[in-house]
């Protein structure tokens, strides 16, 4: 008997006895942001034998995107697979931010079970509630893993009770309510049936529970059918579609056709390559079998939610409905005097192609072209999702101007306006709770609950309109000295809550084009805090600072010091400037008003008025006043 076969017969992880059909399990790991999903996947890969003992692997290996590594969050759902005993387990790592909830909604159709990861101190949070409700609705049986039990502020029993109450509130079936529970630490690589269990077994109890609790991958009789779930582009293979094969098998060079949701034929073609997930790598395979999660290449039009199938199939697989977008922004061709100086992709055609390409793979995005053909309305789940798209585009060399995020309204049957309402959970120190409650009430937020969350902290739960929350994150951190944690989740469309006061201060606007001078900035410091430094390029209509008063003020930042032939210590004293406000992309989007734009280039983020010429601005303001009168 060969050594690998002996090890497989003994059930050693990582070895499969060839000659026997491979058993399959498909699971997703779902949790709120920062509850440890990606770290747990790292340990699952290590302990299943997916890596060599001396192989160097980056921390959070599944977060392969540059932005994911920088921000420490998962943005795109990704699949991997491990072998445990004689079973291949396909694991899908999912995002934790509500803005990327569409990624989670799509992948749930690929799996037969979910591991719900819950922080032992924070308990189930809004995103946990959102994803679990979707999973329970399609009949998936959950495994609950209480993570970070070694935290000093862990409250394990209360968290388990909160999870049960959450499942009951989401109308879980009796079978779903009878969920198994494991306790452990993903970072330290162990799980057990009790909080003080044996850590020497590592994650073996979790692997064994998946094999026991999650059913064998579902398959159906009939020819090849697969629902497209994830889309990506490869420079060598072209479009790659990932999904789970519902029935039949697929081989390279096989003729297939693509059906849209209505059953219309999108295209017919041949599969050039079939790739399967093996650890962190994707390897070519000779045949994709029913129940497995694979990627296929060779088709040029098929996209997410389309059915890839044998030519004889006539009916598509029904895709899960996706919640509608709640926030929209305008992406406009950059027309500032500095346009084209820092980026190489500036035309409307390039921006249009890039946006529609993004919408193909991201079903939660909606793109509409404006009548002038130079701007596009991009709708998504939240400011973070749209900010990630803008950041990705600027790194690719695009220059664009973007407007302030606006909410997407709906009309009720009686003609009244409905707006998106969110459930907001804020964990804050007790001393700062008063200012949080006051600011949320100003933003039309209704407080539902206030309770201790351990360590002299309170958990405040509100229902608030989305438009009132735009830009509140940075203000909240300022009010609470960076200690508050805010989590948001779309709840429903409800009647309009009334007007909400916006930014109270005006702005300082440059009235000339050139390079900012230190002496001019120093003289303007009494007018308000600056957002630029000496030497920065400015132009007419560009915002260079915040005014102390409510009105906008045009200023000259190019004015130098008048030189004389008198030399004294006091006259030649060096100019000392207050450090400027650092405006990040997210902060800029939240800070600007409706008549302002953020100019985004590969090297700079500038704030400007939508109308640069001061005379044109005054005419536009008078026309607006006349209309409102």
Please enumerate, by residue number, every residue annotated as part of a binding site.
34-39, 147-150
Torsion, Cα of 584, 590, 596, 598 (10° steps)? 30
Kindly give, in sequence order, each residue whose CB lies less than 8 Å from that of residue 13, ignoring residues fewer than 6 positions away: 47, 48, 49, 82, 83, 84, 85, 204, 207
What is the SS3 assignment for 375? strand
Distance, CA of 353 to CA of 73 (rounded, Å): 27
- For 521, counting Cβ atoms within 10 Å of its Cβ (0-12 exposed, 13-18 middle, 19+ buried), the class is buried
Work out the number of other CB atoms within 10 angstroms of the CB of residue 352. Answer: 17
What sign does the CA torsion over 324, 326, 332, 338 have? Answer: negative
Q: Which helix (H) or strand (E) holds 293?
A: strand 293-297
- Measured distance CA(611)–CA(600) in Å, rounded: 17
Q: Which residues are annotated binding-site positions for GTP?
A: 34-39, 147-150
What sign results for the dihedral spanned by CA atoms 320, 326, 332, 338? Answer: negative
**216: alpha, beta or left? (left if phi > 0; alpha if psi -120 to 50):** beta
521 three-state secondary structure: helix
Q: Give SS3 for 441.
A: helix
């Amino acid at each position: 008997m060969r050594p690998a076969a002996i090890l497989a017969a003994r059930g050693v992880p990582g070895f499969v006895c060839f000659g026997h059909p491979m058993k399959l399990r498909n699971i997703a790991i779902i949790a709120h942001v920062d509850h440890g999903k990606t770290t747990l996947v790292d340990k699952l890969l290590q302990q299943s034998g997916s890596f060599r003992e001396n192989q160097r692997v980056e921390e959070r290996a599944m977060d392969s995107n540059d932005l994911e590594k920088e921000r420490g969050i998962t943005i795109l759902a990704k699949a991997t697979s491990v072998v445990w005993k004689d079973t291949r387990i396909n694991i899908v790592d999912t995002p934790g931010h509500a803005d990327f909830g569409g990624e989670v909604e799509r992948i749930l159709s690929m799996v037969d079970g979910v591991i719900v990861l819950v922080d032992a101190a924070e308990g189930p949070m809004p995103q946990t509630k959102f994803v679990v409700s979707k999973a329970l609705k399609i009949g998936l049986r959950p495994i609950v893993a209480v993570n970070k039990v070694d935290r000093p502020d862990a409250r394990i029993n209360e968290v388990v009770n909160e999870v049960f109450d959450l499942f009951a509130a989401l109308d879980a079936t009796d079978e779903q309510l009878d969920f198994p529970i494991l306790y452990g630490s993903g970072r330290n690589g162990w799980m057990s049936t009790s909080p003080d269990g044996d850590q020497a077994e590592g994650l073996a109890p979790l692997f064994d529970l998946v094999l026991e609790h999650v059913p064998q991958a579902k398959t159906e009789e009939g020819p090849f059918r697969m629902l497209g779930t994830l889309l990506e582009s490869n420079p060598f293979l072209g479009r790659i579609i990932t999904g789970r094969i519902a029935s039949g098998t697929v081989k390279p060079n096989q003729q297939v056709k693509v059906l849209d949701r209505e059953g219309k034929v999108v295209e017919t073609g041949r599969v050039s390559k079939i790739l399967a997930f093996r650890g962190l790598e994707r390897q070519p395979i000779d045949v994709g079998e029913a129940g497995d999660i694979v990627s296929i290449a060779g088709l040029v039009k098929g996209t997410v939610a389309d059915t890839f199938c044998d030519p004889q199939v006539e009916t598509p697989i029904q895709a899960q409905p996706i919640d509608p977008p709640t926030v929209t922004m305008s992406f406009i061709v950059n027309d500032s005097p500095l346009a084209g100086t820092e980026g190489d992709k500036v035309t409307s055609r390039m921006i249009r192609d890039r946006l529609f390409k993004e919408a193909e793979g991201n079903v939660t995005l909606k793109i509409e072209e404006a009548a002038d053909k130079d701007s596009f309305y991009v709708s998504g789940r939240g400011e973070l999702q749209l900010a990630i798209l803008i950041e990705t585009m600027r790194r690719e060399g695009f220059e664009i101007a973007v407007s302030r995020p606006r909410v997407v309204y709906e009309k009720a049957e009686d003609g009244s306006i409905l707006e998106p309402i969110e459930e907001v959970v804020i964990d804050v120190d007790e001393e700062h709770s008063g200012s949080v409650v006051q600011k949320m009430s100003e933003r039309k937020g209704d407080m539902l609950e206030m309770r201790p969350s351990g360590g002299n902290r309170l958990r405040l739960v509100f229902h608030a309109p989305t438009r009132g929350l735009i830009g509140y994150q940075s203000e909240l951190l300022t009010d609470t000295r960076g200690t508050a944690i805010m989590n948001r989740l779309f709840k429903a469309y409800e009647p309009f809550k009334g007007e909400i006061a916006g930014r109270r201060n005006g702005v300082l606007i440059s009235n000339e084009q050139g390079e900012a001078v230190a002496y001019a900035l120093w003289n303007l410091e009494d007018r308000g805090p600056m957002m630029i430094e000496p030497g920065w390029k400015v132009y007419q209509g560009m915002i260079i600072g915040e005014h102390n008063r409510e009105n906008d003020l045009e200023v000259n930042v190019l004015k130098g010091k008048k030189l004389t032939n008198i030399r004294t210590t006091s006259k030649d004293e060096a100019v000392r400037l207050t450090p400027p406000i650092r405006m990040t992309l997210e902060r800029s989007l939240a800070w600007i008003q409706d008549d302002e734009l953020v100019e985004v280039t590969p090297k700079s983020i500038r704030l400007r008025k939508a109308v640069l010429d001061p005379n044109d601005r005054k005419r536009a303001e008078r026309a607006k006043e006349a209309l409102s009168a």
